[in-house]
């Protein structure tokens, strides 16, 4: 069984949250880790404005979707979540990527999606 889009989105988001919480440049790192351990990511977003802004930035800018083609694999859907460190001085960035092979998929133009099949 494969995991769906929502699973990977939440997994990526949680990894980014841990990345932000545990940054050596986060001045409140110890307090945030304790708060995360008690509340979890979703509740922590309601409690700490700076953390909420970091997660909102992630939601707004991190996702990239591309359709790739190679002779070996054919068409592949690439979904990537990537975001730089939140604190000044962070030199690393978060990266999470999944690939979905698309086999026997008929690609259509946008106007073809609204056409009804003639009977």
SS (H, E, C) 11-65: HHHHHHHHHHHCCCCCCCHHHHHHHHHHHCHHHHHHHCHHHHHHHHHHHHHCEEE
**Cα-to-chain-centroid distance, residue 35:** 22
pLDDT in tens, 108-119: 888 888 766 554
113: in domain: no
Residue 54 lies in a domain: yes
Each residue's pLDDT tens digit, 11-68? 999 999 999 998 888 888 999 998 888 888 888 888 889 999 999 999 999 999 998 8
Is 109 within a domain?
no
Q: What is the pTM of this model?
A: 0.77
Asked if the structure places residue 71 within a domain, the reply is: yes
Q: Is residue 60 part of a domain?
A: yes
Distances (CA, A) of 111 to 67, 105, 108, 114, 115: 19, 17, 8, 6, 7
- Per the structure, the complete domain to which residue 11 belongs is given by 5-103
Task: Specify if 72 maps to a domain.
Answer: yes
75 assigned to some structural domain: yes
- The total of other beta-carbon atoms located within 10 Å of residue 1's CB is 3
Total count of domains within the chain:
1
The verdict on residue 15 lying in a domain is yes
């Amino acid at each position: 069984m494969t995991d769906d889009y929502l699973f990977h989105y939440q997994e990526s988001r949680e990894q980014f949250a841990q990345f932000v919480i545990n940054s050596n440049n986060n001045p409140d790192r110890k307090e945030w880790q304790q708060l995360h351990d008690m509340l979890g990511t979703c509740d922590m977003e309601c409690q700490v404005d700076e953390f909420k802004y970091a997660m909102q930035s992630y939601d707004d800018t991190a996702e990239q979707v591309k359709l790739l083609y190679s002779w070996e694999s054919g068409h592949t859907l690439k979904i990537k979540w990537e975001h730089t460190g939140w604190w000044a001085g962070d030199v690393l960035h978060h990266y999470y990527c999944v690939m979905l092979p698309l086999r026997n998929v008929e690609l259509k133009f946008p106007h073809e999606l609204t056409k009804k099949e003639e009977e």
